[in-house]
Amino acid sequence: MDGNVPDPKYGEKLRLVAEVLKAVEGPIYIATHVDPDGDAIGSSLGLYRALKALGKEARWVAEPPRFLRFLAQEEEYTPPLERLPLGATLVVLDSADPSRVAGVPLEGFVVNIDHHGTNPRFGHLAVVDPSKAATAEMVKDLIDLLGVAWTEEIATPVLTGILTDTGNFRFGNTTPEVLRKAAELLASGVRLSEITDRLQYRSPAYFKALAAVLATLGFHYGGLLVTAHLPEGLDLPEEDADGFVGVIRYAEGAVVAAYLRRRGEGVKVSLRSRGGVSAQNIALRLGGGGHVPAAGATLEGVDLEEAYRRLLEAVAEELRRAGYL
């Protein structure tokens, strides 16, 4: 984790937000970022339902991707708006970039709640705490402060946000605190196994693509590097096409996993590493960037063969640096 320094005034700030949300007249709009993920949808829907339970006039402006639509009812959606009415409060969740807030203008009284360290703290009240695993974890705390009784309807999206941002309690951001909060949410009657099943559903096209990707599996440098690429001609949504590095990274013995796919006139390379090897170093050598365990690069104007050639060279350098070769 980079920059996950807790905000020492987190509790104090969140308490003020809770008091203000209970006090404000006029409608409260809840919004999140474009291309919303599970945390964006889960945290915003959870807060929306909690405010409704409080009797507030709340509106949820969001368009969940297909795999998250099971969380909401048709009548809960508010379509995108050009302007907010006078006296509106806008709560923006999980949105590190104010220019990427979806469906609403940044107008009225703006409250910004997010766990991304890069959030510039826009808005009138900003609670930004990168030590939190998910914005949904912050919404859990906020709903507690609002004093709303936890129900399955409110807890389910909030827990979903935590589940998706922690990789179902697998990533390093899964703190004891996260598990304790999840335990409380679960106690409200959330059907955990049903949610986790639903989050894993994939289209027939995904499975066919996975088979095609695995058929390209290659091991290099005595198995230290595992590679695969997306063959051309597969009809696959963008959100699915990028995820395969998360499958091949579990190849035993490999300390680097690289997944390649054509993108425009170039090749996009997704990298994962472990065991003292830096995916970031490899990505930097390829003109990209990222974090030590997860990084990527886009090689412009090259074909797959050339991309593989450069990748193998960059990986060899990094394996030498790390003492493997």
Rounded CA-CA distance 92/106 in Å is 9
Question: Which stretches within 24-134 are classed as H helix?
Answer: 38-53
**Given candidates 9, 83, 100, 274, which one binds a copy of itself under the rule CB under 8 A?**
274
**Given candidates 80, 105, 253, 289, which one binds a copy of itself under the rule CB under 8 A?**
253
Q: Using the rule CB under 8 A, is 192 a contact of a copy of itself?
A: yes
Q: What residues from 160 to 189 belong to the interface with a copy of itself (CB under 8 A)?
A: 168-172, 174-180, 182-184, 186-187
Rounded CA-CA distance 181/139 in Å is 11
Q: Using the rule CB under 8 A, is 203 a contact of a copy of itself?
A: yes
From the number of C-beta atoms within 10 Å of its C-beta (0-12, 13-18, 19+), residue 68 rates as: buried
Cβ distance to a copy of itself smaller for residue 5 or 186 = 186
Q: Least separation, in Å, of the C-beta of 252 and a copy of itself? A: 4
Cβ distance to a copy of itself smaller for residue 226 or 286 = 226
Helical pair 176-186 and 135-146, crossing angle rounded to 10 deg: 60
Q: What is the CA radius of gyration of the chain?
A: 22
Rounded CA-CA distance 212/131 in Å is 39
Q: Using the rule CB under 8 A, is 320 a contact of a copy of itself?
A: no
List residues bridging with 48 in a β-sheet: none
Q: Using the rule CB under 8 A, is 250 a contact of a copy of itself?
A: yes
Q: Which stretch binds a copy of itself (CB under 8 A): 79-87, 203-211, 280-288, 316-324?
A: 203-211
Task: Look at residues 4, 14, 21 and name the one whose alpha carbon lies nearest to residue 126.
Answer: 14
User: Which stretches of the chain bind a copy of itself, using CB under 8 A?
Assistant: 168-172, 174-180, 182-184, 186-187, 192-193, 196-197, 200-204, 207-208, 210-211, 214-215, 217, 219, 223, 226, 248, 250-253, 274
